[in-house]
Amino acid sequence: MFYPGEVVDDRYVVQELLGEGASGEVYRVQDGETGPDLALKIQPPRFCEDTAWYQESSDEIHNEVSIGEQLRTVPGLVRALPGGYHAGRAYYVMRHVSGRDLVDFTEREGAVSSVRTAAIVAQLCGTVGELHSQGWVHRDIKLENTLIASDGQVWLIDLGSAVRPGSEIHLAATPGYTAPEVVQGAAASVASDVFSLGCLLFKLAIMNLPYLNKTGKRLTPIPPFPDDLRPALEALDPVLRAVGLHMIAWDPADRPQSTNVVAGELKRLLPGPATPPRPGREPDPVLRYWLAEYRNDS
């Protein structure tokens, strides 16, 4: 672990630890050459891991940078920028978003209102849709990989699992968010990203996932949500509930076939061009959505 004031690679001055996990540590750093704050992700220190495993971990960091360079025009995507090595550990840097991830957001907010949920998911639809249009699927859409900035803008992070649609590659599964066909061995697709977005929608709106611990290798469909969550489902705006259930259909052919379709359905819940929303509690994803969607039309 690095402490405030330490310098990584003779350039990045550590300000604070933002998070850590099996894949590495993330710090807020100041770029000693250009000045602004950035986020820096670095491999965890090596202890007893074998050389092959640690090299694979390093390769994953460099792969994320390579993917990020191909997706530099995607709005709302926090992509990895070239880094290097420090004390034998691979690292990259990325934009620092002043805000918090959606796990922390929901822990503070509780269940998110239908309109705020719609605005968050609609913003993500724009980012994920552009990712799809450039020939990639994210494969790991979840609260932990989504940030909401203080101005209400929603950002998608972590391209470490991104692949080309149809790629035969090892399973990258987060329990409760991964589409059942992917868990059963199918390749990731636009439809599986739509499924994950639908799971995120319900995790925001009712603080539960539809198929948690139920997306194992089953051959037959199962209904989403236990009976004790039915009252929470019924309390949702009917438009949001219908959109969400459409997104998490067990059969990928029954889901919306693009995030553009999802965003179009969610628009029914959100203020239109002639009805700008009043500023709400910060962060305000509804106002941010409206400004991004309509301010150029005025």
Residue 36: its H or E element: none
- Cα–Cα dist 255/268, whole Å: 18
- Amino acid found at 34: T
Main-chain phi, psi angles of 91, to 5 degrees: -150, 160
Q: Could you tell me if 57 and 42 are in contact, meaning their C-beta atoms sit under 8 angstroms apart?
A: no
Structural tokens at position 30: 């100041």
- Is 203 labeled as ligand-binding? no
Residue 11 vs residues 8, 38, 119, 199, 218: alpha-carbon distances, Å: 6, 12, 38, 40, 51
3-state secondary structure of 271: coil
- Cα–Cα dist 46/181, whole Å: 35
Residue 12 vs residues 30, 35, 80, 86, 206: alpha-carbon distances, Å: 6, 10, 15, 11, 40
- Binding-site positions: 41
- Binding-site positions for ATP: 41
